[in-house]
Structure 1
Amino acid sequence: MDVLSRPAEEFVNDGTVEELWAVKAVDHAEVHFNLLCSVDPRLLRLTPYDDEIYEQFRRMFPDMDVRVVNENQLKNSDAKTKWRAYVEKFNRLEDFSYGTLLRADAEEEFRPENAILVVRIQFWAIEIARNREGLNDSVRMKFRGKNTKRDA
């Protein structure tokens, strides 16, 4: 019998895999935040495709305020449809759909209360917009020298 033809009830989520994903997502968020604290965000390039990601984002979401993002902006039914079309434009990029933590408030540090789970292309789109529109500038001034590290 082919594994894919077996009932879904026979499969369970592996807690170890979920834990490793969470560790990787937090590490990514911390590295990104530390970069914002160390480098002028307006000069920061997150991918070789930043220009295209930003242009398409602002074409499809011209009025989206990225300073403070709430989950409803990303996950209500209308938003999901629009985001799905945006995400598919970048399916050629490695890790485009990888789960990633986004800071909800651009002026605040990464912490659980300020984190929203998004796919990587949403993270790139919003953070590139924040960088280019000057919304991450305050992070560098406010948190410079404060490295964010997860407690062991």
Structure 2
Amino acid sequence: MAEGLAGLGVEGAVAAADALSKPAEDYINDPKIELQWAMKAYHHAETYFNLISSVDPRRLKLTKFDDEIYAEFRKDFKDMNVELLNEDDLKTLSAKSKWRPFCNHFEGQVDDFNYGTLLRLDASNEYSEKNSILVTRIQFYAIEVARNKEGYNDCVYNKTAQKKSETSKEATTS
């Protein structure tokens, strides 16, 4: 994807940055804009995964509204399994009608609440084509804050910590 960005040149990159500050619904399917949105979502996913790999997720604050987001999420979605998501919990017409009021509750409060963001379906695995779904930023926050608080992202952090420990042991025995 980086090649696509470089192909825009300075002028195109400035125009794309300006375009990204406008709501997605203002655009028709422009490939340059779609590429910019995809790059932004990918960068956010990569940054987040690196974060939960290196910081204990239970101590992590994603926003200053984490506690409110979590309380509202668990009030509205009591039984949702955040460890292993089902796409139907997010994308069916009935799911969307349930999510809409939740998302709109945070409009004007959480920055970029409706931006497209990648979310892992299975909390124990990395982002991949099969393990990712596009959701709004507030849905991402709701589910990832729940995963952090409920311990479902611990496995990502623990895998990284174990690898570091093994690498450290190998270095001292060499």
Give the alignment's TM-score, normalised by structure 1: 0.85
Q: Retained in 1: the 8 A contact 2:54–2:160?
A: no
Specify the alignment match of 1:95 in structure 2. Answer: 112
Q: What are the within-5 Å matches in structure 2 for residues 113-152 of structure 1? A: 113-144=130-161
Indicate the structure with greater helix content: 2
Q: What are the within-5 Å matches in structure 2 for residues 1-152 of structure 1? A: 12-92=28-108, 93-144=110-161
Identity among equivalent positions (%) equals: 54
Highest relative contact order (Cα 8 Å, sep 6+), 1 or 2?
1
Describe the shift of the 1:143–1:90 C-alpha distance in structure 2 as closer, same or farther (beyond 3 A).
same
Give the deviation of 1:13 after TM superposition. Answer: 2.1
User: Hey, what's the Cα distance between the residues in 1 that align with 2:88 and 2:28?
Assistant: 29
Give the alignment's TM-score, normalised by structure 2: 0.75
User: Hey, what's the Cα distance between the residues in 2 that align with 1:16 and 1:80?
Assistant: 28
Structure 2 stretches lacking a partner, 5+ long? 1-26, 165-174
| SS of 1:118 mapped into structure 2 | strand
Specify the alignment match of 1:149 in structure 2. Answer: none
Runs of 4+ in 1 over 3 A off after TM superposition: 143-146
Structure 1 stretches lacking a partner, 5+ long? 1-10, 147-152
Alignment length, in residue pairs? Answer: 136
User: Hey, what's the Cα distance between the residues in 2 that align with 1:91 and 1:118?
Assistant: 15
Letter paired with 1:128: V
In angstroms, what is the RMSD of aligned CA positions?
1.5
Give the deviation of 1:14 after TM superposition. Answer: 1.5
Letter paired with 1:131: N
Structure having the higher Rg: 2
Give the deviation of 1:12 after TM superposition. Answer: 4.7
Describe the shift of the 1:15–1:56 C-alpha distance in structure 2 as closer, same or farther (beyond 3 A).
same
| SS of 1:112 mapped into structure 2 | coil
| SS of 2:79 mapped into structure 1 | coil
